Each structure stands twice: as C-alpha cells, then as structure tokens.
Structure 1
Amino acid sequence: MPLLLLDLDNTLLPRDAAFRAWAEDFLSENGLPAGDLDWLVMLDGSGYVPRSTVLGAAKRRYGFDRSVDSMLAHYRIGINSHIRCPDSHVAALREAREAGWTLGIVSNGGTAPQLEKIRRTGLAALVDGWVISEEARCLKPDPLIFEIAARRCGFRPAGDRGDWKAQTWMVGDYGPADIAGAAATGLRSAWLHHGRPWAERAYRPTVSSPSLPEAVRVILAAGEHPTAGRGFAAAAAGRAQRSRGRLAVPASRLAPAPARVSPNAPHAPATAKAPAATKAPLPPAATPLGVPLTTAVPLAPVEPAPAAAAG
C-alpha cells in the first residue's frame, strides 16, 4: 500500500489566509489603522518568523501595555478560529484513500497549536497518523521525522510491506523543509508552488503543482502507471492536456507537469517498459536555471528551520 505524506500549513490548510483574517481582526479590535495589514503580513513571513518576533514588534509599534506571552495566547486562539480545511482538499484526501493510499501529516511547529489545527479542521479523522516536530524532537528536513511519520502510519523500515520509501510521496509548499527533506530521505515529492518560481539549485521536486488537489491527481496517476519514465509522464501529461492547460508545472516557472521520472531512479525497476502508447517523448522543458526538472543533482546540506516555525 503506498504512503502519502503531507505538510500541514499552506498545504493541507490555508494558513496564510487564516493569519490575514486574524490580523484584520487584531487591527479592528484595537482601533488600529487598517492599512497596517500588509505590515503585519510581511512581518509574519508565512509563519516562519518566530511568533515572539512578530508580536514583540507589534507590541512596540502600538505601545501595548501587556506581555508578549499574553498576546501569543490571544493570537493562538484567534488564528485557529479562522483555520478551515477546504472542501476540495477533503475531497482529494478521500480520493487518495479510496485509491488505497495511506495518509500521514508531517509538520514543523509547536505540538499544541499544530495538533489543535489537525483536530479542529477534521483532519484527524481523514489521516492515519501524524508527527509534529516539537514532540518528535526533530525538524523537517531531517529524514528522521519522515521515518517517524511512516512508522506511525503502520510502515516499518523492513518487513512484509516492503521498502516504504519506494512507495512514498511527500507533498509540501516549503522547499527547504518539505522538498529537501523528501530528497534527503529518498522520497518522491510534489511541491505546491502557489504561483512562485522554484529557486533552489541543490535539489528539486519530482513534480510541481498549483494546488493540493492537482498534486494528488498527479500522484494518483503515477500510482495507476507504476512503471517509471514515459509511462508516468505520459499518463499525467494526458490529465493535464484534458484539463485544457491546467498544467501541474507552469512552463514559465519550472517544467510542464508532471516531470519525467528517470528509469534509473531508485523508486522504479530499471527494466520497466512503458506502454506502447506512451513512447512518444514529451517536449523538452527546463527550469529557470536551464536544468530539466528531473535532472539528478546532489543534495546540498540544508539548515533546519527554526523550532518555532510552522509547516
């Protein structure tokens, strides 16, 4: 049974939208200028800036006579009240489940707030397990946190379920944690670009998608055509063509999706043959760096994200 691991913030849950809604409430409740919304969003850094830094800066800017800790408690309640799991994401998870996939969450961040999100949004009932960096005492991109997630989802390093890495995908929006972690662990990965270009040189995702539902569709297509190389590429390319331009990877940013998977990749048999109907090569495409998306590049060391960062 294949395993699908997913990041939490800005992958399963639209965390940045929730922060923006909280910031609007914060300004309104305190009678502060509505025009300061962009300042708060900028300072937030999509959750990767420590909360003490964000709230400490707000305390000084507005002259609040209360502690940062009290502001943090108020913030946690406020932002989680705005967290929702979109119906399209729920449908994608159910589609993967019906296709026989095991589902797990791998999140950087504090245990209490991340666990509250998982439970409040109903994700706890949709997945088989989860791991949060604070309680696991390790952060993405450390391979250990992915191994912990696999064990909690019922997989073992060896056994009757085979090599879990060969049948596992990681989906996430943050390259240095999600995609670098997948590469370091030996997993295939789908990067949610959210309209951004890929900027890392030392590693790259297997495929890139504009949204979680699209990423799941591409991954399920790979599961339906387990042979490596053109069989996978053609199957997913056909899905993109039928969707009339909804490519998993915008040509202006990375490469037409999904990218080819090399027949020599460790997750596929070297002798696998593609079906006759899929032998026509896909048009060549390169990243902004001029390197094909699936070209093997040695993984460079990646600095772990701060412990307070959510993901």
Structure 2
Amino acid sequence: MMVKQRIFITGGSGYIGSAIIEQATAQGYEVYGISRNETSDARLTGLGAVPVRGDLHSLDVLREQSAHADIVMHLADPMAANHHMPYEERIRIDDAAVEAIGAGLEGSNKPLVVTSGTLVVAATGAETDETSPLWEKPLNDRIVCEQNNLKLCEKGVKVSVIRLAPFVYGRGASGVGLFMKMYSNMKGVSYVEPGDVFTSAVHVEDAASLYILAAQKAKAGDIFNGVSSTNVTFRQLSEVMGDVLGLPVQSVPFDTAASRWGEFYALFLSTENRASGAKAMRELGWEPNKVGIIEDVKCGSYVSLTESLKGSTVA
C-alpha cells in the first residue's frame, strides 16, 4: 500500500489554508495543521486534517512537525490575532517560527512553501514579474520575512515563495468581504481619486492550487506571483460593490481616505499592482480558472453576503 505524503501547514484553518487542505486531501495527501484552540481543532478536523495544538510561538512543535512532514506550507500570520501588532514584532515572530521549521527540515531538501505579497514590487505602469525592482519604501516590511525565509535554502531546505495578490477573493469572504461590510456600515463606497489605478487579484481556490503545485514542482529559491488578473481598477471594484449594495459611490482625496481608514489602507487603495502570474503558469503548469473578481461580487459567491448586509441595513 502506498504511504501518503504528509503535509504540515500553519494557517490551515484560515481562508487560504482551508482551501489548500480541501485540495490536498482530495489529492491523497495527509495533512497536519497547527491549531490554537478547540475552534480551530474542529475546523481542521472537518476539513479532513489532523489538528496539532500550538501556534507560531510553539517552536518545539513547529520543529517536530516539520521533521515528520514531507512538505511544509507556512501561511499563518502573527498579525491575524493582533492587527495592532508593530510590524517589527511580526517579523520577529515569523522569523523565529520559520527558523524552527527550518531546523526540522534542515538538510532534507524537502519543500517549504512560504507566503509573501506582490505589493513588495514597485509599480511601473505595466505588468511586473518576480524579477522586477522592489519598492524603496514598501507599504510594509513583508519583504524582510520573504528574504529571511529564503536563506533556509542555504541549509538544504527547498524554499519557494508565493507572492499573493492584494486581493485574494472568493467564497464570499476575505478582503472584498471586509470592504463590503465597512462600506455598508459607512452607508457609502469610496475610492481614492481618481480610482484608475490597477490592482491584482486571485481566487482563493486558484491560490490554493498554486501552493500545492509549488510544493510539487518548485526549485529552491523560486518565487511565484499568485495572480490571475491585473486589469481591474479600484474604481471598477468600488462601483460594483456600490451597485450590488445599493450605495452611493464617490471619489475622495488621499488625505480624506487616510483620516477615515488610516494611512495604510489609503495607500493600499491607491497603489498600483499589476503582478503577472505568467511564470507560475509557464513553469508549474498553474491554470487559474475561477470566476473573476468583478463577476464574483456581482453574481457569484458574494451575493449572500450582499443580501445579508442589505437586510441588516433595512433592519
């Protein structure tokens, strides 16, 4: 009887991690996931994974589980539990966790797939790729974690990086859902003028398939953009949200956006990102095929969220 390959995943009960587990178990993998509490235990068990109690501070657990795994995927973000955490602390926690994972994998040449973001790359007005120059002053310091994670290649770990699009969408959740809830509470949708800045997007299920392909096929040090669309503007996305929610849509100056949402979100909503996913398609055989972000908001997985938000507004 063929022995199943074992995946150890951090962030497995989260948005993307859940989709990865669904696809991995369907492909015959045995999945173990780090779990902070009973709620996560139930979530992982329901997905067909084996929960392992711990978190990113549980360095011995991370080391031991990685040593027993054939593949490790790191998606957990320290900021998920504390959005006000200083970014320096996020880097410290992530580095320690990945160092522990690396200690379990050292010298094995086993795959470790880690998570970054395409917003580390500077805008050019055209599509960018994984070799494009980085921002001199990025929105955050995520690139530091990426670069530190890649150093494990020197210790015999096959590290590859998935740089996710700013908008990972689908299943009626993630950032799109959060913005829709925020706009519903504000009784209006706003975009940072003039709103013609392009952003990148990828469906959560397409992103999940990319992680698995990277684990199967990527070489040590490979970086891949997890992006299926680069041709949607913030204005288009705002207008479709306003249309389905029945809310007015307006342009606001950057300073107004910063005062309403904070400077980070104002920058996020006004920063161009057109990161091409062509490398992943070419080298890994990635075939993103899910519904586009505009269509998903208009008539796909966000319909039930829209109805609930409109219902609460009426109530």
Q: TM-score, normalised by structure 1?
A: 0.36
Q: Please state which structure has a larger fraction of its residues in strand.
A: 2
TM-score of the two chains, using structure 2 as the length reference: 0.36
Q: Which has the higher contact order (CA 8 A, sep 6+)?
A: 1
